[in-house]
Structure 1
Amino acid sequence: MYAVTGATGQLGRIVIAELKKRGFGDKTVALIRDLAKGADLGVETRAFDYDKPDDLAKALDGVERLLLISGSEVGKREPQHKAIIAAAQAAGVKAVVYTSLLHADTSPIVLAPEHRATEAAIKASGLDYTILRNSWYTENYTGSLGGAVASGTIAGSAGDGKLTTASRPDLAEAAAIALVTDGHTGKTYELANDDAFTMTELAAEVSKQSGKPVVYANLPKAEYAKLLESFGLPPAAAELIADSDEKAASGALYDDSKALSTLLGRPTQTLEQAVALALK
């Protein structure tokens, strides 16, 4: 039996769909906080509230392999993840696949320490493990391209930094492969696209496909954070995004291992494909 945490999240839903497509739907359990939100998943669902650690082991009964999709509550993830790992041990889970952060062991991005701590806890647990160090989602950059076309500007703080992002569908497929196929025990994969792009190149591709002039405006981190707040983002989220963008300027979101395409057995999504999908 396979189980997926955060199964109603943006990544989790695609993982569930991928497992069903591969014929594992009847062997998959979706672990979710709100059962009502998982009614449309088409697999068994079990209540799984990270903040109720005493109830977690019961939900993992019969599970052999667990995909631990990192939680969304920044600042709370380390204790939440450790509670899940302890529950997996208590329930007799054999293996954990964890979605970490690109170069989590050395990354200067503010999210990295929670991932480092989780990786360490998994390795100390005695469980078989696979670490999937996911890059930033491509959709983080393409999700608001309609507004960029309208304004003629894409803003950020990444400078000329090379970005090897990855699409959610590609990362979800990789997670499903790591969960249900053999040969990944004890391995850590840096998962990023085959080809890098800069924000200037992203703007040029958007301009090319939309037929309208779009340029990249590089802003100081504080100014970019204020801009994000003006769009309605909470201050903490705006600061996190701006800080990560600034770190990307010095290579924090770049990797050339091509481990993602190797795991998938096919090329990763291209920038051209990502922009075309976003502008549909």
Structure 2
Amino acid sequence: MTETLLVTGASGQLGRGVIHYLLDAHKIPPGQIIATTRNPEGLADLAARGVVVRAADFSDAASLESAFKGADRVLIISTGDLDLKTGKRLKQHETAVAAAKKAGVAHLLYTSMPNPEPVSPVLFAGDHYGTEQAIKASGIPYTIFRNGWYQENLFMALPHAIASGQWYTSAGDGRIAHAARDDMAAAIAAGLASGSSESKTYTLTGPQAHTTAEIAALVSEVTGKKLDVIQLPDEALTEGVKAAGVPEEFARVIVSFDANTRSGRIAMVTDAIETLSGRKPQTLRAFLEANKAALAG
């Protein structure tokens, strides 16, 4: 009998990607896939394909317990509710883990981040570390995907940097192996569909780690536009991000990414995407070439 697979946050880009790979690459019968979201009407296209759509709110334990009922393998995609003062996201995730335990889920899967331990400079790393600990404490067999930074995250900085010719950063000579969101979705779907009951942790990265200067050189090659990297201290960069209209709390989160890169805690390169999905992940050059128009304006 085919296991029933559940994906939370199914209306998000990663969640949708995972479900499409389950349907199209792994040929999972749509009736064996449960997609949960706060707004089920937004998943009418998946429902039309036969996917079971259920309402689930991470702030409502009862809704999660009801949504998880009958699911064998549950993928918890980390929520976007960042609130560093209240720890809202960690509480949501802990509620979801408890609901999975009550619902009798046989295997939990979770999207974390690389090296989330308490020494991480990333300001929300504690959400992921705490969730990993809650999953392990639950006694449910698990698969943790420590997702590296998306290539798509570069859309936050590069268009403005390319337009001005200057890329302000505090990442120093730290390296980062950005990976395509679609490659991560393919790998996660493979893990969800695998039926494996072994507890494992995978770190998902792109195929090569680059410094900011190397990324800027690639950008210049692809777009034909000169891009100078200007290194700043964290506080100066924070002030610059705030001056661009970003609220202080989120500005500090953004700068903590650069501090994390500078520390070397996200410099790893793994073959986990290829191991899980059977395909080689997209290179950064390929991403830049595919998105040249959007990046360079």
Equivalent residue in structure 1 for 2:107, among 95, 101, 104:
95
The answer to whether structure 1 residue 112 and structure 2 residue 125 are counterparts is yes
- Report the Cα offset of residue 40 of structure 1: 3.0
Residues 22 and 189 of structure 2 are in contact (CA less than 8 Å); yes or no, is this contact kept in structure 1? yes
Q: Which residue of structure 2 aligns with residue 60 of structure 1?
A: 68
Distance 1:145 1:46, change over 3 A: same
- Report the Cα offset of residue 39 of structure 1: 2.3
Residues 143 and 278 of structure 1 are in contact (CA less than 8 Å); yes or no, is this contact kept in structure 2? no
Distance 1:118 1:82 in 2: 6
Equivalent residue in structure 2 for 1:127, among 112, 115, 140:
140
Partner deviation per Cα, 1:142-194 (whole Å, 9 max, x = no partner):
45533332211222211110112222111111110110113462111111122
When normalised by structure 2's length, the TM-score is 0.88
Distance 2:39 2:168 in 1: 36
Q: AA paired with 1:243?
A: S
Residues 178 and 184 of structure 1 are in contact (CA less than 8 Å); yes or no, is this contact kept in structure 2? no
Where does the alignment leave 5 or more consecutive residues of structure 1 unmatched?
none
Q: Which residue of structure 2 aligns with residue 274 of structure 1?
A: 287
The answer to whether structure 1 residue 264 and structure 2 residue 273 are counterparts is no
Give the match's secondary structure for 1:13: helix
Distance 1:29 1:183, change over 3 A: closer
Q: Which residue of structure 1 aligns with residue 81 of structure 2?
A: 73
Distance 1:231 1:4 in 2: 36
Residues 142 and 278 of structure 1 are in contact (CA less than 8 Å); yes or no, is this contact kept in structure 2? no
Distance 1:121 1:114, change over 3 A: same
Residues 178 and 284 of structure 2 are in contact (CA less than 8 Å); yes or no, is this contact kept in structure 1? no
Q: Which residue of structure 2 aligns with residue 241 of structure 1?
A: 254
Aligned residues: 280
The answer to whether structure 1 residue 37 and structure 2 residue 37 are counterparts is no
The 5 A counterparts of 1:96-245 are 96-105=108-117, 107-183=120-196, 185-245=198-258
Distance 1:91 1:35 in 2: 21
Distance 1:50 1:98 in 2: 14
Q: AA paired with 1:14?
A: G
When normalised by structure 1's length, the TM-score is 0.93
Q: Which residue of structure 2 aligns with residue 15 of structure 1?
A: 18
Partner deviation per Cα, 1:17-76 (whole Å, 9 max, x = no partner):
222212223321111011222223343211101111122111112111100011111221
Give the match's secondary structure for 2:76: strand
Equivalent residue in structure 2 for 1:3, among 1, 6, 20:
6
Distance 1:184 1:219 in 2: 46
- Report the Cα offset of residue 279 of structure 1: 1.3
Distance 2:236 2:43 in 1: 39
**Percent identity of paired positions between Structure 1 and Structure 2:** 39
Where does the alignment leave 5 or more consecutive residues of structure 2 unmatched?
none
Larger deviation, residues 102-111 vs 125-134: 102-111
Residues 121 and 256 of structure 2 are in contact (CA less than 8 Å); yes or no, is this contact kept in structure 1? no
Distance 1:271 1:46, change over 3 A: same
Residues 135 and 142 of structure 2 are in contact (CA less than 8 Å); yes or no, is this contact kept in structure 1? yes
Q: Which residue of structure 1 aligns with residue 58 of structure 2?
A: 50
Distance 2:58 2:32 in 1: 22
Residues 193 and 261 of structure 1 are in contact (CA less than 8 Å); yes or no, is this contact kept in structure 2? no
Distance 1:265 1:10 in 2: 21
Partner deviation per Cα, 1:84-133 (whole Å, 9 max, x = no partner):
11111111211111111112236342222221111111111121211111
Q: Which residue of structure 2 aligns with residue 253 of structure 1?
A: 266
Distance 2:109 2:193 in 1: 10
Distance 2:224 2:216 in 1: 12
Q: AA paired with 1:27?
A: Q
Give the match's secondary structure for 1:249: helix
